[in-house]
Structure 1
Amino acid sequence: MSLTALPTRAPRITYRAVLGSPYVARLLGGTLTGRLPDSMVPVALVLWATASGSSIAFGGLLSALYGLSSALVQPVKGRLMDRHGQSAVHLPAALLNAALLVILPVAGPSGGPGLALGLVVGIGMTVPSLEAGLRALWPTVLPDPRLRHAALALDTGAQGLLYVAGPVFVAALASACSPSVALAVTAVLGLAGTLVVVLAPPSRRWRPAPPNGPRTGAVDRLVSPGLVFLFIALTGVGFALGAMNVWSITMAEHHHQDMLSGIIPATCSTGSLIGGLIYGRRTWQGTITRRLIIATAAFLTGWLPLLSLPGPCAAIATVAAPGAFLSIVVACAYVITGALAPAGRTNEAYAWLILSIGAGQSAGTALSGRLAEQSLTSAVLPAAGSAFALSVLLAARRHLGPTGCARRGRHRRPVRGRHKTP
């Protein structure tokens, strides 16, 4: 056999190659900076409320309203981006969000609880949808599917760092200066990160992909069996995370080690980053649906040791395992969502995905809070949410693959020229 006939092996993808691609480091760094308020604002609101003379319960209410209003409005902003472009939605939202964060500590105490509640709802509703926007930009910035695979894994894994660094940073600011200063710095970071993204050529020039063929209600409708089942399954994943956060507080109280309430979620997030980095560097066999189901099964298995009610050190080590598979589950879910969503509706579809996880997380937090005094039940809930997610995915697997796309009239593939490139 001649040398020319030998099969060539594709070069291995490295994160240096991904980050060295035009605009990737800028878009990823800007998005992570712009999303720091997601993890900083809830903590800053509690600290500001207590420093202003209100109760911790009122601070918790403000934090919950922020998270709820931010999640519920995601699909609306996604739809607007699909219609008018990303910069036209991100920039006004970021400016208004920063202004409200600065106004809150100034006008909140004098206006009473009602004004504070209204301002916090406004802050949540104006959070820029940078996460959904970035996922829609990857096909434009990285036409090579292998580079996109690595970028999505890196992007998904790095999000965990936000929830490690953000709360620590805002607590340090509040301690060294004041909660009002912490809110102001949060506003600056959110606006600065958003400006980095919206001023980048890929974001300014991005337009939704045109539909393949004539538009019909059946093809352009966002709701499909595959997406519905996927989003329902992801609520179970979010439920597990919300339950884990409350369980970590329960562990801290039971063992009289306050740091556990932060160390356990941080370990889970660190595991997510490591898992995402490993996943993105390899080319995996099998369909994306099969990968999603296997990763979800591993995510479930990782929570099972909690049923033995481990001690602090064992608990910290245990949560790293489900964390490692979390980024894989989310990365696969984004790929399937992009394949099943109609052309021109990707931002909105990604926003619904984010909402699904957030809604499940809120439900997990609420239920775990009510059952926190029951140690075994509290430890079971993360596995219960994961088992629900796996059950839904197994039941719906035929709707999640290419045949599910075909039943809708098309199968999304990256096509040269479908997006405007810088």
Structure 2
Amino acid sequence: MITPSPSSVPTSSTPAPATAAAADAESLRPSLPAGTERAGGRSILRTPHVAPLLAGTLVGRLPAAMAPIAVLLAARSDHASTAVGAVLAALYALAGAIGQPLLGRVVDRSTLAAVALPAAAVSGGAFTALAVVDCAAQPLTAGVLSVVAGLATPPLEAGLRAMWSRLIDPSRHHQVFALDAAAQEVVFVAGPLLATAVCLLASPGWALVACAVAGSAGTLAVAARGPARVRSTARAVHWLGPLHSTGLLVLLAASVFFGVTLGAFTVLSLSYAERHHEGWLAGVLPAALSLGSLLGGTAWAKLKRPWPPGRALPVVGGAYAAAFAVLLLPAPPWLMITASVLPGMFLAPWLACAFVACDALAPRGTATEAAAWLIAVIGLGQAAGTAAAGQFAAYGHTATAAVPLLGAALAAAALVAGRRRLSLP
């Protein structure tokens, strides 16, 4: 359990926190073992609650990566068209993007456990019902269930990132956010593989049940930890919540374009695989991007004194865009796989800087909702990038590869233009 400090009033030996968010973090942060703040990145996982929370959240977030494939395969097994399956998957994703900020606002006014547990029950129930519904005969019912499953997705990712400021010393926020960003690649690699394996070994219906089980199990693991049951004492002072922060709006705008790169890269991988008649490339190229993210996140976490997010984000964003430029060149498969690692090297650092900035720029009492908005706009950008790259796929490799490059360039431009708004206290 987290024990609040005896007093929130700074003394002469304790400097006053620079921001209201820092004051909340200081009052809730547990005491760390001596020398922890000077130790390497591994010590973060030894900080109380960090490893169990990270592991539970990764399990609880598996449905986000499993559901799109499971829903598509379930629709096909019911002899529904691919278009119907795609609509169901899109409804799930869109509902999740809408539901996360709404649930995040409720978390900021109560606790993560109080919101996530009933949400997991509703989402899990919708997945289970969807497993027995005939998508071809009852497409409307299947659509409603997909929307409910998405809307009620437990806000574990946003909740966890809001908790880092309460659990980890500010000087090490870049490390824990980099670790978090790199670890989430496990979700997007393992999720589709797990869904496909369950579909092949059992049935698409059981894959949807597996989504319900994973979401519930991960939520229970997180809710059992003390930090998830700590009630925030802060309250938002404006009805817009975190959107009242101009700096956060700049970050969200850039994050939409960042999401475009991720959605477009998936289409680029499929298009490249089809062009070379090598289906395995459709999975290997995203895996190479994820590998790069793991490497980049690990390297970023080892930095002892990183730049502040307002300065680091434009630089990392520019490097991210430059790395995508390499993918414009027609290359043999082995070189394309290697080139796909390059933008991944800046993916986790970009996310780490973005969430550090998001936490600092959010008005007091809106940290969870702010993180949820960041997650939501990245998801919306992914959907837009997938749609845009799909339209350009007919014009060849260079046209398709131009979409993620353009998204990354626009994200970097937005960060450069708004860098003063991103300056943190």
Compute the TM-score of the two structures, normalised by the length of structure 2: 0.88
2:3 aligns to what? none
Equivalent-residue separation in structure 1 for 2:203 and 2:241 (angstroms): 49
Contact conserved, 2:243 with 2:249, CA < 8 A, in 1? no
TM-superposed deviation, 1:183: 1.2
Matched, 1:251 2:272: yes
Equivalent-residue separation in structure 2 for 1:390 and 1:30 (angstroms): 33
2:230 aligns to what? 205
**2:61 pairs with one of 35, 39, 43:** 35
TM-superposed deviation, 1:221: 6.1
User: 1:256/1:275 Cα in 2 relative to 1: closer, same or farther (>3 Å)?
Assistant: same
1:17 aligns to what? 43
1:314 aligns to what? 335
2:401 aligns to what? 379
Equivalent-residue separation in structure 1 for 2:314 and 2:61 (angstroms): 28
Equivalent-residue separation in structure 1 for 2:345 and 2:281 (angstroms): 19
Contact conserved, 1:208 with 1:345, CA < 8 A, in 2? no
Contact conserved, 2:56 with 2:218, CA < 8 A, in 1? yes
2:24 aligns to what? none
1:287 aligns to what? 308
1:322-362 per-position Cα deviation (integer Å, ceiling 9, x unaligned):
11101111111111111111100111111111111111111
TM-superposed deviation, 1:151: 1.6
In structure 1, list runs of 5 or more residues that go unmatched. Answer: 1-8, 403-410, 412-422
Question: How do residues 328-367 of structure 1 correspond to structure 2 at under 5 angstroms?
Answer: 328-367=349-388
Matched, 1:395 2:421: no
Contact conserved, 1:66 with 1:123, CA < 8 A, in 2? yes
1:274-320 per-position Cα deviation (integer Å, ceiling 9, x unaligned):
11111011123432211111111110011011121222211111111
Compute the TM-score of the two structures, normalised by the length of structure 1: 0.89
**2:190 pairs with one of 165, 171, 184:** 165
Report the 3-state secondary structure (helix = DSSP H, G, I; strand = E; otherwise coil) of the residue aligned with 1:400.
coil
Contact conserved, 2:72 with 2:86, CA < 8 A, in 1? yes
Report the 3-state secondary structure (helix = DSSP H, G, I; strand = E; otherwise coil) of the residue aligned with 1:54.
coil
**1:148 pairs with one of 173, 180, 193:** 173
Question: How do residues 59-74 of structure 1 correspond to structure 2 at under 5 angstroms?
Answer: 59-74=85-100
User: 1:13/1:219 Cα in 2 relative to 1: closer, same or farther (>3 Å)?
Assistant: farther
In structure 2, list runs of 5 or more residues that go unmatched. Answer: 1-34
1:241-284 per-position Cα deviation (integer Å, ceiling 9, x unaligned):
11111010000110011111111111111211111111011123
User: 1:357/1:219 Cα in 2 relative to 1: closer, same or farther (>3 Å)?
Assistant: closer
1:6 aligns to what? none
1:133 aligns to what? 159
**2:125 pairs with one of 56, 77, 99:** 99
User: 1:392/1:169 Cα in 2 relative to 1: closer, same or farther (>3 Å)?
Assistant: same
Report the 3-state secondary structure (helix = DSSP H, G, I; strand = E; otherwise coil) of the residue aligned with 1:313.
helix
**1:231 pairs with one of 248, 252, 267:** 252
TM-superposed deviation, 1:110: 8.3
Matched, 1:303 2:329: no
Equivalent-residue separation in structure 1 for 2:345 and 2:242 (angstroms): 34
Equivalent-residue separation in structure 1 for 2:131 and 2:304 (angstroms): 50
User: 1:183/1:219 Cα in 2 relative to 1: closer, same or farther (>3 Å)?
Assistant: closer
Letter in 1 for 2:192: P
1:416 aligns to what? none
Aligned residues with identical type, % of pairs: 40
Report the 3-state secondary structure (helix = DSSP H, G, I; strand = E; otherwise coil) of the residue aligned with 1:96.
helix
1:368 aligns to what? 389
Letter in 2 for 1:73: G
Contact conserved, 2:294 with 2:345, CA < 8 A, in 1? yes
User: 1:132/1:218 Cα in 2 relative to 1: closer, same or farther (>3 Å)?
Assistant: closer
Letter in 1 for 2:275: H
TM-superposed deviation, 1:14: 2.4
Contact conserved, 2:242 with 2:248, CA < 8 A, in 1? no
Equivalent-residue separation in structure 2 for 1:14 and 1:370 (angstroms): 46
Contact conserved, 1:309 with 1:379, CA < 8 A, in 2? no
User: 1:21/1:400 Cα in 2 relative to 1: closer, same or farther (>3 Å)?
Assistant: same
User: 1:110/1:307 Cα in 2 relative to 1: closer, same or farther (>3 Å)?
Assistant: closer
Equivalent-residue separation in structure 2 for 1:289 and 1:389 (angstroms): 14
Equivalent-residue separation in structure 1 for 2:313 and 2:222 (angstroms): 29
1:73-124 per-position Cα deviation (integer Å, ceiling 9, x unaligned):
2111111111122111101000111111111121345861111111111111
TM-superposed deviation, 1:12: 4.7
Letter in 2 for 1:245: T
User: 1:36/1:10 Cα in 2 relative to 1: closer, same or farther (>3 Å)?
Assistant: closer
Letter in 2 for 1:156: A
Letter in 2 for 1:125: L
2:5 aligns to what? none
Contact conserved, 1:220 with 1:343, CA < 8 A, in 2? no
Aligned residues: 390
Equivalent-residue separation in structure 2 for 1:225 and 1:197 (angstroms): 32
Equivalent-residue separation in structure 2 for 1:105 and 1:56 (angstroms): 17
